Amino acid sequence: MTTATQGTPTEGTATGLPRLLPRHGQQPEDWYAHVARVGRLPYRDAPGRLISDLQAAGLTGRGGAAFPVHRKLAAVLEAAQARRRPPVVIANGAESEPASDKDATLLWLAPHLVLDGLQLAAEAVGAEQAILYTHADRRNDVGRRLRQAIAQRQAVAVDRVPVELAEAPPRFLAGQETALVNHLAGGPAIPTFTPPRITERGLAGAPTLVQNVETLAHLALIARRGPRWFRQVGTEAEPGSMLCTIRRSDGVPRITEVPLGVPLRALLAGPGEQGLREGAVLIGGYHGTWVPAAEAAKLTLDNHGLRRAGARVGAGILITLPQDRCGLVETALVVRYLALESAGQCGPCLNGLPRIAAALAELAGARPRRGTRANVERWAGLVTGRGACHHPDGAARFVRSALTTFAAELGRHERGRCGATDTTPFLPVPHGSAHTEQDWI
Ligand SMILES: Cc1cc2nc3c(=O)[nH]c(=O)nc-3n(C[C@H](O)[C@H](O)[C@H](O)COP(=O)(O)O)c2cc1C
Ligand code: SF4
């Protein structure tokens, strides 16, 4: 769990940015400050117009999968009309990835932008119910802040679709869309098998639209300023900006709004530094990819640019691992956490992830047995694509990238040594605090 507080530092990196967060100060924006900054809600009840604006803007989801937003809205609208069933719209602010803090920061500083986006999306698909799902533990009183924001909106009668708040449990899978729907229906926050897709049959059987809270904030600005404005930053194929949670060697999470396509070197070097001095960079969080720093310095932050390193933008998490830490120890701690977070309902995930975690703990220690590395590679292949959700796939990607990026470190461990001079855990891992270096070395 991130230790960031309500004052997580925020930065913008290009002309016209930040767009989403208030430019000055760290104070939450009330309704009047919000309207003064971005203007009133634009057109209402105009599903065709919003969907075509989103298509022209090329907005993709900012919750990790980068799926085109207009296609999801269109699918929900079509299912609702075909079945004559009003849909449900859910803003996903669970931010269940421990290394991320961008959604909590957005909700804290600019709650009305997210609520505008939720409202516009709900009206566009003809929903009668809208839900804002957030992680209760992330910030001391983000729940109180959101309740105040909703009450302010009721006072000025801006919302036509009523908005409820719902609490996400502090589990890695709680933000996965079918887990979220299951939880809101009164069940555990674990994924369910698809089909049917939730866009057809989701909460209480209704067509359900789930969008990340940052996605909805972009949607609210596109509705006001138009697709051409949105495309002023970013690349032709991946337009716009995104919020990133960046941890440099001081370990402090900083929220930065960046144009897609920005060189990673510019983001990760730190103020006043020329290049990337650190050993490795984690791109995309705990379902993401370790990349050697020298290679990361040549990449750009967009899915096309990251592909050659086998990485993806994901939810915009970028972490530089300082040279005095051991990437194998860090990876082993995270994979142990990921294994514990498995919903335990698919065999390969239930049995495979704990095995991989135990083998990685061995690799992170002194003189691992011959064959352990090969076993990890084989098991990572066996769990991929075998679960009801993408949890094992993401964990396997993370593990494989560690084996190649930290190959030299693996060699040192085989000789009974470890390159780390600082053994305190660097990556934020909820279950990791109970461990000492003795567990690994
Ligand atoms: C294990 C797992 C955890 C996820 N956690 C989140 C989350 O915390 N927040 C989020 O917005 N999306 C999360 N997602 C993605 C959601 O399932 C869903 O794709 C997303 O909320 C859709 O919004 P978007 O299209 O606006 O990104 C997660 C997916 C997986 C596989
Ligand atoms: S793949 Fe793993 S985490 Fe996903 S539903 Fe199956 S057991 Fe649960």
From residue 20, how far is each of 140, 240, 314 by CA, in Å?
A: 22, 11, 18
Domain 327-425 part of CATH 3.40.50.2000: no
- Residue given tokens 């049917």 in the structure block: 196
* Whole-angstrom distance, CA of residue 281 vs CA of residue 401: 11
Give the number of whichever ligand sits closest to the CA of residue 71: 1
Q: Which residues of the chain have pLDDT under 50?
A: 1-7, 432-441
Q: Whose CA is nearest to atom 23 of ligand 1?
A: 211
Cα torsion angle, 371, 355, 430, 248, sign: positive
Which of 70, 89, 193, 212 to mutate to test ligand 1, by most ligand atoms within 8 A of the CB atom? 212
Q: Is the CB of 191 under 6 A from ligand 2?
A: yes
196 cis-preceded (ω within 30 degrees of 0):
yes
User: What pLDDT sits at residue 433?
Assistant: 39
pLDDT, position 25: 63
Report the separation in Å between the CA atom of 422 and the middle of ligand 1, taken as the mean of its atom positions: 34
Q: How far apart are CA 340 and CA 258, in angstroms?
A: 33
207: CA distance to ligand 2 center in Å? Answer: 23
**What integer pLDDT is reported at residue 403 of this predicted model?**
97
Please report, for the chain, the start and end positions of each structural domain, with discontinuous segments joined by +.
31-230, 241-321, 327-425
**Ligand 2 pocket test, candidate residues 194, 349, 353, most atoms within 8 A of CB:** 349
Distance 391 CA to ligand 2 centre (A): 6
Any atom of ligand 2 within 6 Å of the Cβ of 387: yes
Shortest-distance ligand to the CA of residue 178 = 1
The finding on whether 211 has its CB within 6 A of some atom of ligand 1 is yes
* Protein residue with least CA distance to atom 8, ligand 2: 343
Question: Hey, whose CA ends up nearest to atom 18 of ligand 1?
Answer: 177
Pick the residue whose CA is nearest to atom 1 on ligand 2: 387
CATH class of 241-321: alpha beta
* Per-residue model confidence as pLDDT tens digits over 63-84: 999 999 999 999 999 999 999 9
CA of 95, closest atom in ligand 1: 8
Q: How far is the CA of 90 from the centre of ligand 1 (A)?
A: 12
Query: How far, in Å, is the centroid of ligand 1 from the Cα of 63?
Result: 5
User: What is the 388 CA–ligand 1 centroid distance (Å)?
Assistant: 14
Ligand nearest to the CA of 54: 1
Q: Looking at the CA of residue 173, tell me the nearest atom of ligand 2.
A: 3
Instruction: Give dist(CA 181, CA 191) in Å, integer.
Output: 9
Pocket test for ligand 1, best of 176, 210, 390 (most atoms within 8 A of CB): 176
Q: CB of 223 within 8 A of CB of 42?
A: yes
Q: Residue 250, class by beta-carbon neighbours within 10 Å (0-12 exposed, 13-18 middle, 19+ buried)?
A: exposed
Contact between 287 and 276 under an 8 Å Cβ cutoff? The reply is no
Encode pLDDT of 169-223 as tens digits.
989 999 999 999 999 999 999 998 878 999 999 999 999 999 999 999 999 999 9
Q: What confidence score (pLDDT) does residue 5 get?
A: 36
CB 285 within 8 A of CB 99: yes
290: which strand partners? Answer: 282
Give distance in angstroms: CA of 334 to centre of ligand 2. Answer: 17
d(CA 247, CA 286): 14
Give the pTM: 0.94
Q: Per the CATH hierarchy, to which homologous superfamily does domain 31-230 belong? A: NADH-ubiquinone oxidoreductase 51kDa subunit (3.40.50.11540)
Phi-psi region of 18 (alpha: psi -120 to 50; beta: other; left: phi over 0): beta
The ligand placed nearest to the CA atom of residue 181 is 1
* Residue 139: predicted pLDDT: 59
Look at ligand 1, atom 15, and give the residue with the nearest C-alpha. 176
414 CA distance to ligand 1 middle (Å): 38
Establish how many alpha carbons lie within 13 A of residue 214's alpha carbon, considering only the half-sphere containing its beta carbon.
Answer: 32
